[in-house]
Amino acid sequence: MRALDIKKLSVQYHTERGVHRALRDMDLYVEEGEITGIVGESGSGKTTAMLAVMGLLDKNSTVRSEKVTVCGEPPVPGVNIAMVFQDPQSCLNPTVKIGRQITETIRARRHCGRREARDRAVELLDMVGIGDGKKRMRQYPFELSGGMRQRVVIAIALACEPKLIIADEPTTALDAAVQAQILRLLKKIVEETGTALLLVSHDLGVTASLCQRVYVMHEGKIVESGTVEDVFYDPQDGYTRQLLSSAKQKRKNCGSPENQVLFRMEHVTKEYNTRDGIRDISLDFCRGEVFALAGESGSGKTTLARVLTGILKEDKGVLYYKGQPLDQKQRDRSRNKVQMVFQDPYASLNPCLTAGQVLEEALRAADIRDGSQRRRMGTVPARDNAAEKQSRSARRRDRKAEREARRKTICDMLKRVGLTEEYMEKYPSELSGGQRQRIGIARALIVRPELLICDEALSSLDAVTQEQILDLLLDIQREQGIACLFISHDMHVIRRISSRMGVMYGGRLVESGRTKEICSDPWHPYTKQLLEAVPEADPLRARRIRSLPLRKRTADKEQTGKGCPFAGECGYAMSCCTEQEPETYTFGERAVSCFLYAEKYSGRRDRDYIMTSQI
């Protein structure tokens, strides 16, 4: 008996613009106890298909099918079929305690009493790797980390005791280390409970690491299916090949760094009461190079970016621009020189402004800043009466010309980022994620920055769009010779595009150096863990996802406050690691902040000893 059997499933949306066929004659099955994957870019109809199976689509859609059965019966959500959604933050009710959200599911399923439901909930939490279930059940979602929340969501799915769990992008919102843990958890659950799992993902690595069979979807149709090995190693369909090649593609050619140091941070510290601060960070950014910053969420990557842009003021340390220390006044002036592309193209564009207006605003803001600067420096002559008398029409003409020039700049910029002039009049809601991110890039580039910061600029996009945006970014970067700080938790991307990289953990830069060297031979234990946690789009290699087990880290971190931030999780931790903070030890271009590389703790070395990885 098949856990899920779908024959000729079609979905149509009825929108104001007419009928949109989101899904066409989809055939799909999942055997009992099997993990099956669906891959495809966003908008290919994956989620629509899953919601149609669950019967959760909105009223503006028609679903037709010859057959949709779960173990021979019609699917009933919460009874024989359950779903895990992408974002655990938004699919848990923020004002209801975790415990209640689990027990109500159990009670709806089993029609049992409160006590039984509570016991079962603790059991389920234990199963998904949350040990202190009793305590957790009294907490609200905001008190848990992202990974914890996703575990809770999985526990809720398990509470339905389903024959089939549909996991829709279950790890997309999580960082690499947590992703590996969740993937292992899903695998374990399938092995232990015999539940079938349908894994929907745009990440080929994730799919390769878990699934036995895979379906490839494109524009509402299944274009290829088969075992993971067949599809990944011998793709038949052109689209599958394109997907795979974009995931496996080798290093991109990024501009060769010139040796002119553009920005330099020295011992920069920015502390918060809670977290996300940065401590004692020293970095250089050279003209024409792509510097990548990796690390889990909350490690301070974004804080670093904000200090660089001047949105935040550093507590300690000095920033240099072309060798000159930046004080507040110069900072305002140099703000154009650093621009940022934000992570979420949906939230970072004002929904009430058209693309053209967004760009014009950026341009005008930059002009005003330049203007005030010019006036201060006295190059603009004070207006005298004669100038005042100069006919108004001349000034009006000036202004008109200026507007025209601005319009032209905007058009050029739009073309540069691969959009056409028509997009000027469009509002963000009319654009796709990729198009919005293009607007975001255009907004950053239009003021001609010298350093472009991309803060997870790709992570909310699907694989194919990611590839396009990445190409675009690198093209522009190379062409204009600007420096680029690329913040990402995706090691694939970092490996491919950056010439140098840094790894952050707990607000410290634990390792930095040439990307090639770090990726092939990580020195810091955390870097090693990070690199190993990422599944590759290669089934045989990805099956061995390893992730170091979580050591009760929160407790450790809060308790000591001193010592190496990674000591609580590190398999190589020595007693000194928890007592004092390691300095940064530099070996040529490689800098690492770990006692394994300190002479004091790992022995004196020869003068001509070439340092290698100690782990």
Partner 1 sequence: MLRYTLKRILTGILALFVLACVTFFLVRLMPGSPFQTGSVSEQVVEAVEREYGLDRPLPEQFMTYMGNLLRGDLGVSYEDPGVKVTDIIGRTWRITASLGVPALILAILAGTFFGILRAVSRRRIVRETISAVGMILAGIPGFAVAILLLLLFSVQLRLLPASGLLTPAHYILPVTSLAVYPAAVITRLTGNALEAEMEKDYVLFARAKGLGRKRIIFTHALKNAWRPVLNYIGPASAFLLTGSFVVESIFTIPGIGREFVNSITNRDYTLIMGLTVFMGAVVIGVNLVTDLLGAWLDPAVRRAYQEEAG
3 state SS of 15: strand
Q: Which stretch binds partner 1 (CB under 8 A): 144-152, 154-162, 242-250, 264-272?
A: 154-162
Query: Nearest Cα to 39, choosing from 178, 175, 242, 283?
Result: 242
Question: Minimum CB separation from partner 1 for residue 133, in Å?
Answer: 18
The whole-angstrom separation of Cα 2 and Cα 164 is 10
Nearest partner of 509 among 569, 589, 593, 453, judged by Cα:
593
**Continuous segment of H or E residues that includes residue 265:** strand 261-270
Q: Which CB atom, from 149 or from 495, has the smaller least distance to partner 1? A: 149
User: Of 94 and 323, which CB lies nearer to partner 1 in the complex structure?
Assistant: 94
Stretch that binds partner 1, among 80-88, 350-358, 360-368, 541-549 (CB under 8 A): 80-88
Question: Of 151-159, 195-203, 388-396, 578-586, which segment contacts partner 1 by CB under 8 A?
Answer: 151-159
Closer to partner 1 by Cβ: residue 45 or 440: 45
**Residue 504 dihedral angles phi and psi, to the nearest 5°:** -110, 145
**Tokens coding 425:** 């009049």
> Does residue 342 belong to the site contacting partner 1 (CB under 8 A)?
no
Total Cβ atoms within 10 A of residue 540: 12
Residue 46 CB, nearest approach to partner 1 (Å): 16
156 interacts with partner 1 by CB under 8 A: yes
Min separation Cβ 458 and partner 1, Å: 23
Residue 84 vs 254, nearer CB to partner 1: 84
Contact 484, 290 (CB under 8 A): yes
Is 200 a residue that touches partner 1 (CB under 8 A)? no
71 vs 548 by CB, closer to partner 1: 71
Tokens, residue 465: 């769009």
Let me know: does 304 contact 293? Beta carbons within 8 Å. Answer: yes
153 binds partner 1 per the rule CB under 8 A? yes
The residue within the footprint of partner 1, chosen from 79, 519, 574, 598 (CB under 8 A), is 79
83 vs 531 by CB, closer to partner 1? 83
Min CB(92)–partner 1 separation in Å: 6
- Minimum Å gap between C-beta 56 and partner 1 is 6
How far apart are CB 382 and partner 1 at their closest, in Å? 46
Type of residue found at 228:
V
Check binding of 272 to partner 1 (CB under 8 A). no
- Tell me, by CB under 8 A, how many residues bind partner 1: 30
Q: Give phi and psi for 139, each to the nearest 5.
A: -100, 160
The one-letter amino acid at 360: E
With CB under 8 A as the contact rule, the residue among 159, 198, 358, 509 that binds partner 1 is: 159
Cα-Cα-Cα-Cα torsion 473, 475, 477, 480, nearest 10 degrees, comes to -140
Q: Is 82 in the site for partner 1 (CB under 8 A)?
A: yes
Give CA–CA dist 277/282, Å, rounded: 14
Q: Which of residues 84-143 bind partner 1 (CB under 8 A)?
A: 85, 87, 90-96, 100, 104-105, 108-109, 140, 142-143
Q: Would you call 218 helix, strand, or coil by DSSP?
A: strand
CB of 460 to partner 1, least distance (A): 15
Select the span of 152-160, 305-313, 440-448, 582-590 touching partner 1 (CB under 8 A). Answer: 152-160
- In whole angstroms, give the CA distance from residue 114 to residue 415: 61
CB of 124 to partner 1, least distance (A): 12
The letter for the amino acid at 458 is L
For partner 1, which is the closer residue by CB, 108 or 519?
108
Would you say 149 or 508 has its CB closer to partner 1?
A: 149
> Taking the complex as a whole, how short is the minimal distance between the CB of residue 137 and partner 1, in angstroms?
14
For the chain, the distance separating the N- and C-terminal CA atoms, rounded to the nearest angstrom, is 49
Sign of the dihedral defined by the CA atoms of residues 409, 411, 413, 416, in that order? negative
Q: Which is nearer to partner 1, 75 or 535 (CB)?
A: 75
Q: Which stretch binds partner 1 (CB under 8 A): 81-89, 240-248, 359-367, 528-536?
A: 81-89
Minimal distance in Å, beta carbon 234 to partner 1? 36
- Tell the smallest beta-carbon distance from residue 96 to partner 1 (Å): 6
Instruction: Give least dist CB 267 to partner 1, A.
Output: 33
The count of C-alpha atoms lying within 13 angstroms of the C-alpha of 366, restricted to the half-sphere facing its C-beta, is 20
Nearer to partner 1 by C-beta: 140 or 572?
Answer: 140
**245 near partner 1, rule: CB under 8 A:** no
Distance of alpha carbon 414 from alpha carbon 404, whole angstroms: 15
Question: Are 170 and 84 a contacting pair, CB within 8 Å?
Answer: yes
In whole angstroms, what is the distance from residue 504 CA to residue 520 CA? 18
The minimum distance between CB 547 and partner 1, in angstroms, equals 26
| Comparison of 76 and 540: residue with beta carbon closer to partner 1 | 76
| Residue whose CB is less far from partner 1, 138 or 403 | 138
> Per-residue contact track with partner 1, 29 to 58, x per CB under 8 A?
-------------------------x-x--
HSE-CB of 68 using CA atoms within 13 angstroms? 21
Closer Cβ to partner 1, 157 or 180, answer by number: 157
The one-letter amino acid at 612: T
Toward partner 1, which CB reaches closer, 100 or 553?
100
Closer of 197 and 410 to partner 1 (Cβ): 197
The 3-state DSSP composition of the chain as helix, strand, coil percent (nearest 5) reads 40, 20, 35
DSSP E strand boundaries for 121-252: 164-168, 196-201, 213-218, 221-227
Residue 329: is it exposed, middle or buried by C-beta count within 10 angstroms (0-12/13-18/19+)? exposed
**Residue 86 and residue 174: Cα distance in Å, rounded?**
9
Q: Which of 76, 311, 365, 387 binds partner 1 (CB under 8 A)?
A: 76
Q: How many residues does the chain have?
A: 615
Candidates 202, 247, 214, 244; CA nearest to 462 is 202
CB of 16 to partner 1, least distance (A): 18
Pairing of strands 18-31, 35-39: unpaired
Q: Which residues of the shown chain bind partner 1 in the complex (CB under 8 A)?
A: 54, 56, 76-79, 82-83, 85, 87, 90-96, 100, 104-105, 108-109, 140, 142-143, 153, 156-157, 159-160
